[in-house]
Chains A and B, each alone.
Chain A
Amino acid sequence: MIRKARVVVASLVLLAITAMFLDYTGTLHEYFSWLAKIQFLPAVLAINVGVIIGLVALTAIFGRLYCSVICPLGIFQDVLGKVLKLNGKSWKQHKYRFSYSPAKSILRYVMLGLLVIAIVAGINIIVTLLAPYSMYGKFVSTLFAPVMKVVSMGVEYIDERLGTYLIYPNDVVLSGGLACIFGVLFIALCIVASKNGRTYCNTICPVGTVLGFISKYSLLKVQIDTDKCKNCGLCEKRCKSSCLNAKEHKIDYSRCVACFDCIDECKHGAVSYTLRKNNAKVKNVDEGKRAFVTGVALAVGASAVKAQHKTVDGGYATIIGKTVPPRTTAPVPAGSGSVSNMERHCTSCQLCITACPNRVLSPSQELGSFMQPRMSFDKGFCRVGCTACSDVCPTGAINKIKKEEKTAIAVGQAIWIADNCIAVSKDENCGNCARHCPSGAIEMVVREGVSAKAVPVVNTEKCIGCGACEHVCPSRPISAIYVEGYKEHHIR
């Protein structure tokens, strides 16, 4: 019964989070972004005291229930373990494939230490690879999003023929390089989950380690009644955390994720989830020597995959795709305050990137900010009326801002490149940047010795770095006007 409840809640949570990461229209984020905000590491980075206290209390009372019903990566591993059978065993054998093994405490504390050091020192790539919820976000954004794209194209096809206008075209930008990188990690996770259950959660995951420390002292615990136990050992064989020692009737509560599979398994009513007894002291278990390949250590190759451009038919002029202008600082969204705040807080879960309706955010491919959102304007620009990224960010990397505040935040400033401007090179009356500037920061002026036609002049006091000018600039592949990001946002 209690296991069924866990499965139902976990399924709903996983479905909602996955759907949110796939919903390129930003509709579901309104309803489910709280699920991202109650994730442990993001809440710690956001110093979201309420959530931290709540999760600590939850764990202190119920044990690591968080890992079974809140963490999407944890739930997802349960799903993988259930549906993937990677050896020649029968499904029945597969179900009982586990056995007790001692905790790898040193590895766990090393990983936790690494994360703490990485956060303090701002080594983002380590945070990116260790944060469990965010890792799930990256799997969905890089691996499931292409599937979503195909599905949405199918739906759109029908929608278009029915004339029902249900869905917006899926304009999510996909990256083959990132799909390869996270594909390898994903395969590693599949192998581990299928063969060894929650091994990742109990050796690598730093959140698991922290919560495991608390759950040792939790109020409610899974406990074995030695009077009722017939020593059949089935509970141990089903324990995906390998933390149940049936022979000694002991459970390592630092690793138990409160999945209740053992309770479900015991036909004698010997396993129950009850208030802790004082004598149920956990015995320290020896360090094992079992080799464990995580596949996490991976050379992160530069992914030089460019956005594909549709070939045009003969009735249209060919459009050369835009490339990134020579900016030294890629702007970060309003709400993040500064590049360093972004770097310190972001676990690169990709939620803001999915939620951005203007396709301004994309994962950084720089090593120092790998997978964190950075702004670029080849697909759109940052509309002043939109606060989608700040609404969904769970880590405090992008703090919540109001629409009214946004017009007063400058994330960068527009810079004009004379040689690229068609007013100079083609003697054309253009002014498209000035026409589209939402803050009226661009004036077209005739500058003697530069061009006979008017060229843009940017009033940096008014420019907020939204990128409208860069987006609509006809100069290709590099716009003649581009946004240079501010390391520290300017407030007007």
Chain B
Amino acid sequence: MNNQDISRRQFLKGVAVAGATVAASEFLSSCSESKSADTQAYDPNAEVPKDKMTYRVNPTTGDKVSLLGYGCMRWPNKKDENGKDIIDQEKVNELVDYALEHGVNYFDTSPVYCQGHSEEATGIALSRHPRNSYYIATKMSNFAPEFQTFEGSKKMYENSLKYLQTDYLDYMLLHSIGGGGIPAFEQRYINNGVLDFLLAERKAGRIRNLGFSFHGDVEVFDYLLSKQDEWKWDFVQIQMNYLDWDHAKEQNARNVNASYLYRELEKRGIPAVIMEPLLGGRLSKVHDHIAKTFMERTPGKSIASWAFRFAGHFDGVLTALSGMTYMEHLQDNIRTFSPLEKLTGEELEFLDKVAKQMISYKTIPCNDCKYCMPCPYGIDIPTILLHYNQAINEGFIPGDKNESEYSALRRKYLIGYMRKLEADRRADHCVNCGVCMPHCPQNIKIPFELQKIDQLAESLLNK
């Protein structure tokens, strides 16, 4: 294991340096304007501007990309006639139409999202608009062994074109590089010739930009960037937000601080696409104490808007992806980026304080991406982890039995736990097989966490 040279620079200092370099290099142009902070109460019905979106320009292709990108991993569901969850295409169409109308033009999907139906749903919605009015990003998500052959991966690529109803892709990513280290990377892309194939497709113009998304082992990130002269990555997708900027390692020793990743890209002039700017809602569903700080400071703004402003703050960012399930979230995010109001030095300092406070609460860094699912033993992993996080953030983890609040907290914790989870999908049924672990982009020790949560539930039930 290569020990990375990640210096513990001060958050503020780091940000300032980053900003200065970007300004000097001028490889991305920003159209942001500053606006005075408003002191009004949050108004969900406030106007949503149509022509004020902040755009960033991709240096290689000149694409004018909206700073808000649409993540297609969390499309709304409905129940089919058998009670199974399927994507609600009508709502997807509505969201896509609205997004395009309000200046969002980057759509990021993958063959494995939404139980494999995201590309198709996204394709249906987008194909109703002119092909040159949006950019499609999808991925080579060859995680399962059957897709790791050349033929399997090629088939996956061809299916992407078919489902997205297009003959070219604007952005193509090697999906989630880093998990499993260099050997996994070589197995998925080098030994089977898949990377060569994708490079050839780029040359042929069917892939306009080639990049990769990164989670996990930083050795792989460094390795891919060291080959920049050969492979010429047009963009790289990284997890970046005010919590991971300088505190990713504090949460989990195996994670990399986003500040390191971003600066490495910036050094090479590679645009960054930001994923998890909101950590799957963890930066909006925050601890009650933190929520109060935000609401006192900017009552007219959503808590989420702070996280998005952070993501857009850096000029090397091409777009920040948000998986918007609800229209209200889409509208709120459009407002945040129309136009982007950059953070002041004081505000950056404030966010770092918030981040430090956040990591003092021992929540589990689950972003509800559902990569761990389906658990072969039927356990609903994300729901269990998120219930626990909610209990921490809203302060209803029951503590000492002698506390006056104990029985009320116990009640709330257990009722919530039982309502959200069928008996057979609760943590007590985890057999510790570990199948989920390699799939978790956040490197959560899932069985360990589940056992911890099970013990808590058991201690409450055995009153």
Contacts and interface: CB of A to CB of B under 8 A. Distances in A.
Given A311-B83, A386-B462, A429-B432, 9 more contacts: A165-B415, A168-B418, A313-B83, A319-B378, A383-B462, A430-B432, A431-B432, A432-B432, A474-B429
A317 B461 CA distance: 26
Interface in B341-389: 370, 373-378, 380
Interface stretch (B65-73, B202-210, B274-282, B420-428): B420-428
30 contacts: A156-B419, A165-B415, A169-B415, A169-B419, A310-B422, A311-B83, A311-B84, A312-B84, A312-B378, A313-B83, A313-B84, A313-B85, A316-B380, A317-B378, A319-B378, A319-B425, A379-B423, A384-B462, A422-B431, A428-B431, A428-B433, A429-B432, A430-B432, A430-B433, A431-B432, A432-B431, A435-B451, A436-B428, A474-B377, A474-B429
Interface in A370-389: 379-380, 383-386
B463 interface: yes
Contacts of A311: 82-84
A324 interface: no
Contacts of B380: 316
B431 A474 contact: yes
Contacts of B416: 165
B131 interface: no
B430 interface: yes
A319 B431 contact: no
Interface in A107-136: none
A315 B82 contact: no
A405 interface: no
Contact of A167 (B82, B84, B415, B462): B415
Contacts of B458: 436
Contacts, number: 83
A225 interface: no
A41 interface: no
* Chain A interface residue number, banded: 35 or more
| Most interface-central of A316, A384, A435, A436 (chain B CB within 10 A) | A316
A317 B376 contact: yes
A383 B463 CA distance: 9
A287 interface: no
A202 B374 CA distance: 61
Interface string B421-454: 0111100111111000000000000000001000
Contact of A314 (B84, B377, B411, B462): B84
B412 interface: yes
A160 interface: yes
A435 B448 CA distance: 12
State the main secondary structure of chain A at its contact with B: loop
B419 A160 contact: yes
Interface in A273-326: 310-319
Interface in A141-172: 156, 160, 165, 167-169, 171
B374 A315 contact: yes
Contacts of A156: 419
Nearest to A309: B424
A472 interface: yes
State the 9 A-B residue pairs at the shortest beta-carbon distance, nearest first: A313-B85, A319-B378, A430-B431, A385-B462, A317-B378, A317-B374, A165-B412, A383-B462, A313-B84
Contacts of A312: 84, 378
B115 interface: yes
A311 B79 CA distance: 12
A379 B429 CA distance: 12
Given A313-B83, A317-B374, A319-B378, A169 B418 contact: yes
Given A165-B416, A386-B462, A472 B377 contact: no
Contacts of B375: 316-317
Contacts of B373: 315-316
A472 B85 contact: no
Contact of A317 (B82, B377, B422, B432): B377
* Chain B interface residue number, banded: 35 or more
B414 A168 contact: yes
A236 B186 CA distance: 97
A435 B424 CA distance: 17
A472 B419 CA distance: 19
| Most interface-central of A318, A379, A431, A474 (chain B CB within 10 A) | A474
Contacts of A438: 462
Interface of B: 82-85, 115, 370, 373-378, 380, 411-412, 414-416, 418-419, 422-425, 428-433, 451, 458, 461-463
Interface in A406-436: 422, 428-432, 435-436
A380 to B, nearest CB: 7
Contacts of B428: 432, 436, 471-472
Contacts of A314: 84-85, 115
Contacts of A386: 462
A165 B411 contact: yes
| Most interface-central of A160, A165, A168, A310 (chain B CB within 10 A) | A165
A358 B414 CA distance: 13
A316 B462 contact: no
Contacts of A385: 462-463
Contact of A316 (B378, B419, B431): B378
Contacts of B412: 165
B275 to A, nearest CB: 21
A360 to B, nearest CB: 12
Interface string A209-229: 000000000000000000000
B377 A315 contact: no
Contacts of B425: 316, 319
A460 to B, nearest CB: 23
| Most interface-central of A160, A167, A310, A435 (chain B CB within 10 A) | A435
B383 to A, nearest CB: 10
Contacts of A165: 411-412, 415-416
B307 to A, nearest CB: 24
Contacts of A317: 374-378
Contacts of B378: 312, 316-319
Nearest to A432: B431
A279 to B, nearest CB: 62
A319 B424 contact: yes
A319 B85 CA distance: 16
A422 B431 CA distance: 10
A474 B430 CA distance: 8
Contacts of B374: 315-317
Nearest to A314: B115
A435 B454 CA distance: 11
Nearest to A433: B431
Contacts of B463: 385
A386 to B, nearest CB: 7
A319 B461 CA distance: 24
A312 B79 CA distance: 11
A21 B200 CA distance: 72
Nearest to A167: B415
Nearest to A313: B85
A432 B454 CA distance: 12
A137 to B, nearest CB: 25
B433 A429 contact: yes
Nearest to A436: B428
A165 B411 CA distance: 7
Contacts of A471: 428
A453 to B, nearest CB: 11
A313 B115 CA distance: 10
Interface in A239-261: none
Nearest to B413: A165
Nearest to A384: B462
Nearest to A435: B451
Contact of A171 (B82, B115, B423, B433): B423
A383 B370 CA distance: 32
B453 to A, nearest CB: 13
Nearest to B115: A314
